[in-house]
Structure 1
Amino acid sequence: MNLPATDASSHFPGLARVAALLADPGRAAMLWALMDGSARPAGELTMIAGLSPSAASGHLARLTEGGLLALDVRGRHRYYRVATPEVAATIEALMNVAHAANATSAQRPEPRSVRTVPLEMRHARTCYDHMAGEVAVQVFERLVGSGLLLRDGDTLEATPEGAARLATWGVDVAALRARRRRFACTCLDWSERRPHLGGALGAALLDSWTLSGWIERTNRPRVLRITPKGQGEFDALAGV
């Protein structure tokens, strides 16, 4: 068995390096603000994190050099975004770990931000580039329960019937499978404690449903609005 390289002072130094990047509250706040899949300028992230410009600049540089953020340069403007879907999935997974740890801790009270998840965010929100929240969990369960998706652990595959149904939503299953990104997978929802749909398929469905007018983005970060048309379509999934 091949094991990751170690040295005399640290086991799995890559893991420790990433953990150190995530450990700072200011850096964590900036990363969490980018979990809606957006790219934001340094000034906006500075205000979100409540840091001085010089401190924020140093943190952004560390996150970029560490591979957690990517820098987009558009003319004279510089925008930061989460580097990859895998980084986003890791951040979401750590939120689940934090939620579970706080829920079972007898030594300290659960943070207010975890106790009082806004209802709008719990109902429907983005998880990087796919949909999360109560509606997303229900849709995922209906897709699996109706046999449109087959689940094997955390991996999902579309059945022939599922591929045909997805095509009616403008999703080309063959094209998604050809991408380097994982086709479809489960993503544990930190507010519902049940999985929703992630991967390339989850992102494609969010794009499709947004274009179809089922879902609208709001002026609140990550919060999605389910339109009356979308609610009707999602309710109809229960009968497929």
Structure 2
Amino acid sequence: MKHFALTAVVLILCMLPPNVWGEALSGTQILSQVDRNLQPNDLEMYRKIINIEPDGSRKEFVLWFLKKDLDKIVTLFVSPASEAGRATLRLGDNMWLYIPNVGKPIRITSMQSVVGGVFNNADIMRLDYSVEYDVTALLEDQGQYLLELKAKSGAVAYDLLKMWVLKKELVPTRIDCFAATGMLIKTLHFKEIKDIGDGVVRPAVMETDSPLYKGYRSVMISANLKKRSLTDEVFTLNYLPRVKDLR
């Protein structure tokens, strides 16, 4: 019996993450934990997107966000009233926009934006980073991990990312996004780490600015996250007109 108990303890301890023992995490392990902390699988949550122009004027959108597995995402526009009922679908690298009374969903690209502003569709319907990027370097900077990430394919919105990650929380504080030419496209700033629902502690606010859009800013606020399992049927083109019925 003692031998059995000892074996069970050893098995449990072996399942703990390396950092419990003070061992260094690999870049891949860090990125995987960042993904889990930012966007657990099978969930629903609300996101408010605020676009701010150089003159201070603002436009706000509220989206209902659904995610399943690593590559299925649906968003539903809740407000403003002029946009309510629109929905988007992402399956891997493919994206569509559904507009009520317009017929079939329209193909959209990752670099376009269904809300305008600095956030593009890839930012709004983001897959896990580890799905789209490989870790090419792990450094330390300003007391944080610094990951350098390279896109796995040309279909990804950004060719290279530099991601600063808090060591304890394993969530990012900043991500610089670059084109294949090395040009900085935008910077994402992660703020206000807190419980956004269902015990998930992560930055509730993401802001972005870009040297390509001087004076413009966009803010995305996440809230009311709940774990929710949905059938694969929900994440299909035919289901987009009915997504609103799931709220």
Give the TM-score, by structure 2 length.
Answer: 0.24
Give the TM-score, by structure 1 length.
Answer: 0.25
Structure with greater strand percent? 2
Higher RCO (C-alpha under 8 Å, 6+ residues apart): 2
Structure with greater helix percent? 1
